[in-house]
Each structure stands twice: as C-alpha cells, then as structure tokens.
C-alpha cells in the first residue's frame, strides 16, 4: 500500500488561558486525530516564554508521549505557542533524526518547524547549502527548508518576511507550520499539493493538516489556507501574505481517495462525500451482477456504500479490521507486507458465503494485497469476486510527498487490465476513470493533481527525486 506523507498541527494560545496551560496536551490530542497521516514518528515542540522545548521520537503518538513527557514540555505542558508533527519515515530506517518538528537556534532567535510534502529541488538546494557551509543532521528535506528559511531570516526584518522570501527558492510540495519566539506561521506551497486549514479554539488560533484534528480538541474550523498563502498568528493578530498565491493550484486528489480521514473537509469538499461519489460513479462505469457489495476497510467502505446505493446491490461488512495494529503499509518490506494483510483483515464469512461479491478498494499498487484479499474471500465461500477501485490505475511516480513508486514497480504500468485481473484472481476488475476525479471533487476550491494516474505533472519534475531516493542517497553518503 501507499505510504502517507505527514500530519501537521500548530496552536497559538493568543491569551486564551485554558489553551495556554494545556498547549502540549492539545497538540497530543490533535496528533492522535492525524495519526493516519504518519505512524512512524511523532513530535511536539512547545514555546514557553520564548524558550522552546521539544520531544520527538520514532513510534506512534501513544508510544512517544506519556503524561510525564507531555508535562515536561514548556511550563508543565503549558506555553504560548506549539507545533506538532506525525511522520511516515520514507527510508527503511526509522531514524529519530528525521522525526519532527525540527528545532534550531540561529543568530536571530530560534525556530521549530514541521513539514508535510516533498521538495522537488531538495538535492540542488542541499548541495548549494552544503557548499555554503551549512551542516545537516538528518536526511530529510525538511532540514533543507529550515536552512532556506534561516538563510533568509538573517537578511530579513521578520520571520514572515523570511518565509515569504524562502518560498521563492522552494519547489514542489510543502505545507508548513513553524514557530519563532513570538509567532506561529502556517504556509501552503503555491500549488497547494497538501491540505492545511485554520481553526479557532476560543481566542486561540489552530492550524492542522485536516479539519478532523479541530474536532478532536473542540476547535472550530475557520477556513483552508489558499495555495501559496502564509498566515501569521502573533501579538498583532492574524495576518495573511498572499504574494505567492494565484498560480494554478493542484491539490493531491489522492487525499480524497485515500489519505485523508472521511470526517475531514478539504478545500470545501467532504472526504466522505467524495468517496461515496466515487463509488456511485464506479457502479455506473463498471456495473456487476452481484449479491453484495463490501468495502476494504477503511478507505474502501465509503466508496462501497456509494457503489451499493447507485447499483441497488445490498451493502454489507465483508471484513473485520483489527484496530490494534497500524495500517498495512507501515510494514517495511514485501514479506512483512504480505503477512500483515492477514493480521489486519479477517473476512466475515456470513456476509460473502455462496455470494457473488463486489469488493471496493481504494487502489492497487503492486497487487499483492488484492491477491490476498480475494483469496481470503474465496476461502470464505464467495462464489465470484468483482474487484472495483475507487481511483484510476497508478502509472507514474509521485514526487510530492508520497511513496508511489517508479513506474516499473506499479502493476498497472507493467500489465494490462485483464492480466492484472488474472494475477489478483478476480472475476472482473474495474478502475474509476480519470475523468471521474473532477466529478467526485465537485465544488473543490482548488485545482487537482492527478499526475500518478495521468502523467500530467503540475510542476517540472525533471530534476526531482522520489522522496525515498533522496533520503536513501543522503543516508548512504
């Protein structure tokens, strides 16, 4: 399966005493809601009276933080500003050095920064920075962003001016939350590849990758950041810089299909609604003569519901998902990935026995998971299995913060539809069309990226490396 990029959370207490006292715990709660966006490391940095304390480590949020470690941040867990992060480590090694937020001191102050995305010019920028004397402690492109901002900070009168200038050098996908001694800043790259939204908790200002994080802390959604926008929360109130706005935006459409939580709303479109619509369209594009529609938990369930509604075939729960392990895709190699499907999903035989089954999943990457799932259904007595995918076939790699691999590693690039059907053991197979992607995201305030399906990259990727390649190259240096 595909690995998600990262989840961001930031809060500026803005004189709201309750938020100030519990700022570390609010981050912890927010990260819990964003855990699906990254399960291999977590971190929180708290700014109390201008002093930044932080904790970051490999593991789930629940592994990294205890009541004691939360209380050790800031002043007994309290402070004026905080940023937090969950990450999927793209290298095999779960390196603590790559966990975020990154906290750095420089001649004009200190900075804590968390990043979601992938720079397409990270290699070039890092080379220039290293030749200029910068020293790196991690293999993450987030450190490249941090150096770029600090270099600009040394020549700027404020942190927001530095971020604005740094954005001219950064290419690719980057949603950021960062804090200085007195300000919390959130920014979204000019293409708006990754989501980022603003909320409020009383007077406190909150930023998060997804709106579901606001619900978890009782905050109210205010708005999404525009592609290219920088929002600053500080003593002077909330300020927005839009100098980098106005470019054709390209939000990752796969956020709707798979990455985001169904209770989130991104750029005006409910993720749940988008998935249900995908299922409805799928039923029209690829009808099946079947007795029951089931979904692969979690992201296939909403689309299965849509397929059922549009086709009139009853919906049922065909799999029980083990809630106590992470997503399948956190397994680091092929063998572990294959075994973890069985640990994660168990078929509910009563729902599929002696039936012709439509099974809806979000995608097929290498085909190994689908093969296992279909085999399990047949072992449970399913007569026929018709596989439907709520997104088009992956044909091209992603350079924008996910690990959708080189074409050679994508099953749809190497095989025809009928070959894939036979490889995974399905009776029929159908993918959502590329045209349907704009239909499922109808009303979206942003343009869309569909490059991994269409090959139409919204930015130049000729010098780009996959995030995995970049980090491996650096690691082996």
What tokens does 74 get? 């800031």
Site string for ligand SF4, 169-198 (x = CB under 6 A): ------------------------x-----
Q: Is 452 in the site for ligand SF4 (CB under 6 A)?
A: yes
CA-angle at 50, arms to 101 and 199, nearest 5°: 60
Sequence-distant (6+) residues with CB within 8 A of 469 are none
Are 27 and 82 in contact, with CB atoms under 8 Å apart? yes
Q: Is 254 in the site for ligand SF4 (CB under 6 A)?
A: yes
Query: Which one of 91-99, 122-130, 146-154, 445-453 is the stretch in contact with ligand SF4 (CB under 6 A)?
Result: 445-453
For helices 467-476 and 141-153, what crossing angle results, to 10°?
80
Q: Which is nearer to ligand SF4, 3 or 355 (CB)?
A: 3
Query: Of 225, 252, 276, 364, which one interacts with ligand SF4 (CB under 6 A)?
Result: 252
Q: Is 412 in the site for ligand SF4 (CB under 6 A)?
A: no
Instruction: Give 86's strand partners.
Output: 7, 42
Straight-line distance from the first to the last Cα atom of the chain, in angstroms, rounded to the nearest whole number: 28
Give the C-alpha separation, 249 to 204, whole Å. Answer: 29
Query: Which one of 28-36, 126-134, 307-315, 446-454 is the stretch in contact with ligand SF4 (CB under 6 A)?
Result: 446-454
Q: Is 253 in the site for ligand SF4 (CB under 6 A)?
A: yes
Q: Is 400 in the site for ligand SF4 (CB under 6 A)?
A: yes
Q: Which is nearer to ligand SF4, 215 or 299 (CB)?
A: 299
Looking at the annotation, which residues are catalytic? 6
Query: Of 398, 423, 432, 464, which one interacts with ligand SF4 (CB under 6 A)?
Result: 398
Q: Which is nearer to ligand SF4, 54 or 120 (CB)?
A: 120
Q: What secondary structure letter does DSSP report for 329?
A: G
Query: How near is the Cβ of 438 to ligand SF4 at its closest, in Å?
Result: 13
Helix and strand numbers, DSSP H then E, in the chain? 19, 23
Give the C-alpha separation, 243 to 65, whole Å. Answer: 38
Are 90 and 40 in contact, with CB atoms under 8 Å apart? no
Q: Is 365 in the site for ligand SF4 (CB under 6 A)?
A: no
Of 266-325, binders to ligand SF4 (CB under 6 A) are none
Q: Is 393 in the site for ligand SF4 (CB under 6 A)?
A: no
Q: Which is nearer to ligand SF4, 116 or 152 (CB)?
A: 116
Give the C-alpha separation, 456 to 199, whole Å. Answer: 33
Q: H helices within 50-199, ranges in order?
A: 61-64, 67-71, 122-131, 141-153, 159-166
Residues in contact with ligand SF4 by CB under 6 A are 193, 252-254, 398, 400, 402, 404, 449-452
């Amino acid at each position: 399966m595909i690995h998600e990029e990262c989840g961001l959370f930031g809060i500026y207490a803005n004189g709201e005493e309750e938020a100030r006292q519990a700022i570390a715990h609010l981050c912890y709660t927010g990260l819990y809601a964003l855990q699906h966006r990254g399960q291999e490391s977590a971190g929180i940095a708290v700014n109390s009276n201008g002093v930044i304390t932080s904790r970051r480590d490999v593991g789930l949020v629940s592994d990294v933080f205890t009541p004691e470690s939360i209380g050790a941040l800031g002043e007994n867990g309290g402070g004026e500003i905080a940023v937090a992060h969950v990450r999927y480590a793209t290298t095999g090694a779960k390196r603590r050095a790559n966990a975020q937020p990154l906290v750095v001191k420089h001649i004009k102050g200190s900075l804590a920064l968390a990043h979601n995305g992938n720079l397409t010019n990270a290699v070039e920028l890092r080379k220039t920075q290293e030749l200029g004397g910068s020293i790196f402690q991690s293999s993450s492109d987030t450190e490249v962003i941090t150096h770029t901002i600090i270099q600009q900070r040394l020549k700027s009168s404020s942190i927001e001016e530095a971020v604005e200038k740094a954005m001219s050098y950064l290419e690719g996908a980057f949603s950021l939350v960062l804090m200085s001694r007195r300000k919390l800043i959130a920014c979204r790259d000019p293409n708006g590849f990754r989501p980022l939204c603003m909320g409020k908790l009383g007077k406190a200002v909150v930023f998060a990758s997804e709106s579901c994080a606001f619900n978890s802390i009782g905050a109210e959604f205010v708005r999404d950041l525009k592609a290219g926008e920088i929002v600053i929360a500080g003593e002077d109130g909330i300020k927005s810089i839009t100098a980098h706005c106005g470019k054709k935006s390209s939000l990752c459409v796969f956020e709707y299909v798979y990455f985001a939580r169904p209770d989130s709303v991104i750029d005006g479109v409910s993720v749940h609604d988008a998935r249900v619509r995908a299922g409805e369209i799928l039923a029209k594009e690829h009808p099946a003569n079947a007795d029951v529609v089931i979904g692969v938990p979690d992201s296939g369930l909403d689309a299965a519901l849509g397929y059922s509604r549009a086709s009139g075939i009853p919906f049922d729960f065909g799999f029980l998902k083990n809630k106590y392990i992470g997503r399948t895709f956190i397994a680091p190699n092929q063998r572990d990935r294959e075994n973890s499907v069985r640990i994660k999903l168990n078929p509910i035989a009563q729902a599929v026995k002696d039936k012709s089954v439509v099974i809806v999943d979000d995608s097929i990457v290498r085909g190994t998971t689908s093969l296992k799932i279909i085999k399990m259904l047949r072992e449970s007595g399913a007569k026929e299995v018709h596989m439907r995918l709520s997104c088009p076939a992956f044909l091209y790699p992603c350079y924008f913060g996910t690990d959708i691999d080189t074409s050679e590693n994508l099953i749809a690039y190497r095989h025809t539809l009928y070959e894939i059907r036979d490889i995974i053991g399905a009776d029929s197979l159908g993918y959502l069309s590329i045209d349907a992607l704009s239909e499922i995201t109808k009303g979206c305030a942003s343009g869309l990226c569909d490059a991994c399906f269409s090959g139409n990259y919204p930015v130049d990727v000729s010098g780009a490396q996959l995030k995995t390649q970049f980090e491996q190259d650096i690691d082996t240096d």
